[in-house]
Amino acid sequence: MSDRPIDIICATDARYAMPLAVALTSAVCNLRKSNAVRIFIAEDGVPMDIRRKVERSVLANAPPRAHVQLQWKTIETARLEDLPCTCNGHVSNQAYARLLAAEIVPSDCDFAIYLDCDVICLGDLWDLVDEADKHSAVSAVPDGWGACVSWPDSSGVPMVFNYRELGIPAEACYFNSGVLVLNMKVWREQNLGGQVIEYLQRFRDNVVLWDQGGLNAVLHDSWFALDLRWNQMASVLYPNIAAWRAGDAQKWRSQFDRPFIIHYEGASKPWHVGARMPRMSHFFTYWKKTEFYPGRASWFVHLEWLIGSRMYNYIWNWRFLLGGLTKRYLKSENAQAGIQKQG
Contact yes or no for 83/197 (Cβ under 8 A)? yes
List, in sequence order, every residue forming a beta bridge with 122; answer none if it has no partner: none
State residue 98's pLDDT score.
95
Rounded CA gap, 340 and 331, in Å?
Answer: 14
Rounded CA gap, 252 and 269, in Å?
Answer: 22
Which CATH architecture group holds 6-234?
A: Alpha-Beta Complex (3.90)
Rounded CA gap, 9 and 113, in Å?
Answer: 6
Q: One-letter amino acid identity for 41?
A: I
Total-model pTM: 0.90
238 CB-side CA count, 13 A: 11
Please state the φ and ψ torsions of residue 223, each to the nearest 5 degrees: -125, 155
Contact yes or no for 280/270 (Cβ under 8 A)? yes
For the purposes of burial, counting CB atoms within 10 Å of the CB of 273, is it exposed (0-12), middle (13-18) or buried (19 or more)?
Answer: exposed
User: Could you please report the per-residue DSSP string of 282-313?
Assistant: HHHHHHTTSTT--S---HHHHHHHHH-HHHHH
User: How many other CB atoms are found less than 10 A from the CB of residue 325?
Assistant: 10
State residue 212's pLDDT score.
95
Rounded CA gap, 311 and 292, in Å?
Answer: 28
Q: Measured on CA atoms in the order 279, 283, 284, 285, is the torsion positive or negative?
A: positive
The ranges assigned to domains in the chain are 6-234
Q: Provide the 8-state DSSP code for 118.
A: S
User: How many other CB atoms are found less than 10 A from the CB of residue 151?
Assistant: 18
Rounded CA gap, 54 and 58, in Å?
Answer: 6
Which of the residues in the chain have pLDDT under 70? 1-2, 77, 86-91, 239-240, 242-248, 319-343
What own/partner pairs with CB < 8 Å and gap ≥ 24 does 198-204 have?
200/83, 200/84, 200/96, 201/82, 201/83, 203/161, 203/162, 204/82, 204/83, 204/84
Contact yes or no for 49/17 (Cβ under 8 A)? no
State residue 184's pLDDT score.
98
